[in-house]
Amino acid sequence: MKKFVIASIATLALATVSMAAVDGKACVSCHGADWSKSALNKSKIVSDLTHAEIATALKGYKAGTYGGPMKGLMRGQVAKYSDADLEAFAQTIGK
């Protein structure tokens, strides 16, 4: 039982660190505080997207397989994060 409790606490701590890793404050200047702004009038409005669409976009930007005119800029923004970090962040915004 002790091993299970310790493992559960470690997993919870890791998940908490992962979710805190992506700082959405950096996104506000382009996407707006409530995600309702089209970044430079070129992006989709993030608040209209589902969690899954956001996760797909973020991971695609990181891989270089997603995006239009802002592809290069966004790749630089997300490159340092793991796919798990991006997935967790996507769950905090959108529908």
- Calpha distance 90→95 (Å, rounded): 10
Question: What is the fold of 2-90?
Answer: Cytochrome Bc1 Complex; Chain D, domain 2 (1.10.760)
pLDDT tens string 29-71: 999 999 999 999 999 999 999 999 999 999 999 999 999 888 9
pTM over 0.85: no
